[in-house]
A and B are shown apart, each in its own frame.
Chain A
Amino acid sequence: MAAQRQASSASQIPHISPAELSYLYTSLSLPGNPIRPDGRSPTQFRPLSAETDILLGTNGSARVGFADGTQAIVGVKAEVERTPLGIEALSQAEQEEYAAESNKKDTGSNGDGIKRGSSSGQGSWVQMAIEIPGFRDDDALPVFLAEMMREPLVESVSAGGEGGMVGGLKGRLVINRRWHWRLYIDVLLLSQPLSYPLPLLSLTTHLALLSTKLPKLKSKGEEDPFFDDDWNAAEYLYPRVKSTSTKRSSIPGSLSVHKVRPPVTLLVISVAENIIFDPNREEIAVADAVLAISVTNNTDSDGLKLLSIRTIDPPSRLTQPGVPNSENVATLGSTAAAEESVIVNPSTGEEEVLGVWRPRRGGIKRMTIAKMVKMVLEKGGVGEEVLEGLEGVEVG
C-alpha cells in the first residue's frame, strides 16, 4: 500500500519485466489489429453492471461495478445556500465594468450585465470529493481525479429551449439572485483501484447526476426559496423531455430522454499507431500517451462535442528498460551487432531494438491526438456508443 500512496498519476505500475512489457507493446502495436491481453477489440469496453437511485438519503446516486470487481458508488447531495451579493455589493463603477465585460464575452446577448449575472452560476457551487481506500482525500490522485471530472462538468454550457439548460449546470443551480443550490458530489471507490479509476468514476458520476432530483420550487422570483414537500413532484437536475422522435425508441424502457447530459470522460491510450479505449492496468503500463477526453452531447445538432482533453503522465515512463544484447556485458560478443535490427518507432521517432523494452520518453504526435479525438467524436464512434449505453440504464 505504501507504494500505491506514492503513485501520483496513472495508478500503480504492475510488476512486469521489461521482456513482458516489450511483448505487450508489440502485440498492442500490431498495425491495424492490436491484440489485447483480454481479447477485446480496441474500442470495446469492459463489461459493467450499473444501477441508479440506490441511496435514499441522497438527491441522486448510482453504483457501477466492473467485471473485475472494482465498484464505485456516487452520491449527490444538494443544499440551498445564500448567494453572496457579489454584483449588488460592487460599486457602481465596478458594476458597469462587469456589464461591459460580460457583454464582450457574450456578444450575441442583448441583456444587460446585471441580468446576466443573475442567471449565471459559479463553478465553485459544484464540489466533488473522491474517496479511494488507501489514499487520504488530500492525496494527489483523488484531488487530481476530482478536478479532472469537475472541470468539464461545470464548464459545459448548452443552449436553452425545451429540455435545455440555460447556462449549463451552473445556470441550473441558480434559484434566484440571492439563493442558489450547492451540489456535493461524493465519489466512493469501494476497492483498491486495479486500473486507473477514471472511466469507472466518470461513468458512475454521469449516472448519479442523471438520477439527481431537486425539489420543486414553489416560491416565485426573488422570494426566499420555498419548496414542494412532495418528492414525487421533484424535478430532475438534468431536465428530460418526452421522447417524440421514433429513432430513439430503439432503446427499450426509456420513455423520456435527456436533451442535455452530463459529460463523460473517456480514457484513451495510444500504442504506436493504434488507439485503444478503456485500457486495463497492463495496457496503460506500455502506453505511449494517455489522454482523458471529456465529451457531451451537442444540443444544437445530433453529434457530440468535445469539452476537455487532459494528458495523463504515462506510467511507462517509470518502467525499467531492457538491455539489448549488443550492450549487455554478459552476452557481449555472443551475438553479432548486425543481427539486431534497429528500427524507428513510428509514434515516437526513437530508435529501438526489436523486442527490447525502452521506457517512453513522452511526446505525442499531433496526428495521434487528432485521431483519438476523431474516434471519440465521429458519428457512430465510441463516444456515441458509450452515451447510448448509459441511456439504456434505467434511471429513476
Chain B
Amino acid sequence: MPLDTSTTYPLTKLRLDGRRWNELRLIQAQISTNPASSGSSYLAMGNTTILCSVHGPAEGRRGDATGGSAGGSGAVVEVDVNIAGFASVDRKRRAGGSDRQSGRIASTLRTAFQSHLHTYLYPHSTISIHVSVLSADGSLLAAAVNACTLALVDAGIPMPGLLCGCTSAMSGSASTPRDPLNDFLDPLLDVSLPEEQELPYLTVATTTSVPTGADEDDDDMKVSMLTMDSKVHHTYIETMLAVGVDGCKQIREILDGVIKGSSRQ
C-alpha cells in the first residue's frame, strides 16, 4: 500500500492517519504550566507539542538597538522560537543557535502578535514570548500561534480576541486550473508532517473583530495572518481558505473551553 496522501486519498477518502478531510487532530491544552513566567501554556495538536511562556510586559533592555525610543508608543513583542533537537524523527542540530524554520516562525509570530495585541497600553516595555517545540509533526506555525495566544491570555495581556491558527491543504498537487465539472480534489484540514511535505498547504490565523455595538455578529471572523510556502493554482485558494477559516473557528471554541475551564479551578 502506498504511503502518501495523494494516491490513497482518492481511493479511500481517508487520510494517512485515518481522518476525514474536515477533521482536526486531537487538541490538548493547558495554561499556567510554568509558575516562573508571567504566562505559560502547553499545547498538543496531534503529535505536535509546544510549550510557550511569556515574560512581561516588562521594562525593555537598556543598550539594546531597539530599546528606549522604539517602544515609545507601545510595547515591543519579542519572539524566540526553539525547536528542540529531539523534536523531529531524525535528530537535527543546527550550528549557531537558530535555523531558517525557527527564524521564520519567530518573525511571523512577532508581526502577527505585534499588531494583534493592545500594545499601546504598555509604552516603553517589552513582551517576550518564548516558544519551545518539543515534538514537531506538521502545522508548527499554527500550533505556535495557538500556544502563544493561550500564554498571552494567561499573562493577562489585553487583545481584541483570541488569535487562532490552522492549516489547510489540497489532496493533490493542484497545479492546473480547477475544473468545476470534474472536481476530484478535496481540501484537507489540519495537515500533519507527511502531508505538509507532499501537498500544497497554507496557514491561516483568524480573530474576531472588535465588538462595536450590540447588534454586532459575534461569529464575525477576521483573517489576521496568512502564509503559504508551496505552489498551488489560484482557483483553489478560495476553497483552502474557507476550510482553514472554518478550522480556526473550531480551534477557537476548543481554546475558549481551555481558558474557561482553567479559571474555574
Question: Residues of A at under 8 Å CB distance from B?
Answer: 1-2, 55-58, 61, 65, 68-71, 73, 75-77, 79, 129, 131, 133, 136-138, 184, 186, 188, 190-192, 194
Are A191 and B37 in touch, CB under 8 angstroms?
yes
**B173-221 interface (Cβ within 8 A of A):** none
Contact among A1, A70, A129, A194 with B85 in the assembled complex (CB-CB below 8 Å):
A129
| Contact A77/B97 with A57-B135, A68-B36, A190-B132 known, Cβ cut-off 8 Å | no
B86 is an interface residue with CB less than 8 A from chain A? yes
**B47-97 interface (Cβ within 8 A of A):** 47, 49, 51, 53, 61-64, 80, 82, 84-91, 93, 96-97
A90 to chain B, nearest CB (A): 30
Are B61 and A1 in touch, CB under 8 angstroms?
yes
Contacts of A133 in B (CB 8 A): 80, 82, 130
Are B91 and A190 in touch, CB under 8 angstroms?
no
Contact among A57, A137, A184 with B97 in the assembled complex (CB-CB below 8 Å):
A137
Are B47 and A57 in touch, CB under 8 angstroms?
yes
| Contact A138/B86 with A56-B135, A69-B34, A190-B51 known, Cβ cut-off 8 Å | no
B134 is an interface residue with CB less than 8 A from chain A? yes
Contacts of B80 in A (CB 8 A): 133
B18 is an interface residue with CB less than 8 A from chain A? no
B2 is an interface residue with CB less than 8 A from chain A? no
Contacts of A192 in B (CB 8 A): 36
**B94-143 interface (Cβ within 8 A of A):** 96-97, 130, 132, 134-135
Are A2 and B61 in touch, CB under 8 angstroms?
yes
Are B84 and A186 in touch, CB under 8 angstroms?
yes
Contacts of B51 in A (CB 8 A): 73, 190
Are A186 and B97 in touch, CB under 8 angstroms?
no
Are A75 and B53 in touch, CB under 8 angstroms?
no
**What are 17 A-B contacts defined by CB distance under 8 Å?**
A55-B49, A55-B135, A57-B89, A58-B86, A69-B36, A75-B84, A75-B134, A76-B86, A77-B86, A77-B91, A79-B91, A138-B96, A184-B91, A186-B91, A188-B84, A188-B132, A191-B36
Contact among A55, A70, A190 with B86 in the assembled complex (CB-CB below 8 Å):
A55
Contacts of B89 in A (CB 8 A): 57
Are A194 and B36 in touch, CB under 8 angstroms?
yes
Task: Give the CA-CA distance A71 to B34 in the complex, in Å.
Answer: 8
Contacts of B90 in A (CB 8 A): 79
User: Can you add 16 more A-B contacts, CB < 8 Å, to A55-B134, A190-B53?
Assistant: A2-B62, A58-B86, A61-B86, A68-B35, A69-B37, A73-B84, A73-B134, A77-B85, A131-B82, A137-B96, A138-B97, A186-B91, A188-B132, A188-B134, A191-B37, A194-B36
Report the nearest B residue to A139, measured CB to CB. Answer: B97
A138 to chain B, nearest CB (A): 7
Contacts of A58 in B (CB 8 A): 86
| Contact A57/B87 with A69-B36, A191-B37 known, Cβ cut-off 8 Å | yes
Which of B35, B80, B84, B96: most chain A CB closer than 10 A? Answer: B84
Task: Give the CA-CA distance A68 to B37 in the complex, in Å.
Answer: 10
Task: Give the CA-CA distance A14 to B62 in the complex, in Å.
Answer: 18
Contacts of B47 in A (CB 8 A): 56-57
Contacts of A55 in B (CB 8 A): 49, 86, 134-135
Are B36 and A57 in touch, CB under 8 angstroms?
no
Contacts of B84 in A (CB 8 A): 73, 75, 131, 186, 188
Contacts of B96 in A (CB 8 A): 136-138
Are A186 and B85 in touch, CB under 8 angstroms?
yes
Contacts of A57 in B (CB 8 A): 47, 86-89, 135
Are B36 and A70 in touch, CB under 8 angstroms?
yes
A140 to chain B, nearest CB (A): 14
Which of A55, A57, A133, A136: most chain B CB closer than 10 A? Answer: A57
Contacts of B87 in A (CB 8 A): 57
Contacts of A73 in B (CB 8 A): 51, 84, 132, 134
Contacts of B130 in A (CB 8 A): 133
Contacts of A191 in B (CB 8 A): 34, 36-37, 53
Contacts of A65 in B (CB 8 A): 34
A60 to chain B, nearest CB (A): 10
Task: Give the CA-CA distance A307 to B213 in the complex, in Å.
Answer: 70
Which 10 residue pairs of A and B lie closest in terms of their CB atoms, listed nearest first? A69-B36, A75-B86, A69-B35, A186-B85, A136-B97, A191-B36, A77-B91, A58-B86, A184-B91, A77-B86
B211 to chain A, nearest CB (A): 35
Report the nearest A residue to B64, measured CB to CB. Answer: A2
Report the nearest A residue to B49, measured CB to CB. Answer: A55
Contacts of A61 in B (CB 8 A): 86
Contacts of A194 in B (CB 8 A): 36
| Contact A2/B63 with A186-B86, A188-B132 known, Cβ cut-off 8 Å | yes
A4 to chain B, nearest CB (A): 11
Task: Give the CA-CA distance A176 to B68 in the complex, in Å.
Answer: 61
Contacts of B63 in A (CB 8 A): 2
Report the nearest B residue to A189, measured CB to CB. Answer: B132
Contacts of B35 in A (CB 8 A): 68-69
B55 to chain A, nearest CB (A): 8
Report the nearest A residue to B51, measured CB to CB. Answer: A190
Contacts of B34 in A (CB 8 A): 65, 69, 71, 190-191
B112 to chain A, nearest CB (A): 21
Report the nearest A residue to B97, measured CB to CB. Answer: A136
Task: Give the CA-CA distance A133 to B63 in the complex, in Å.
Answer: 19
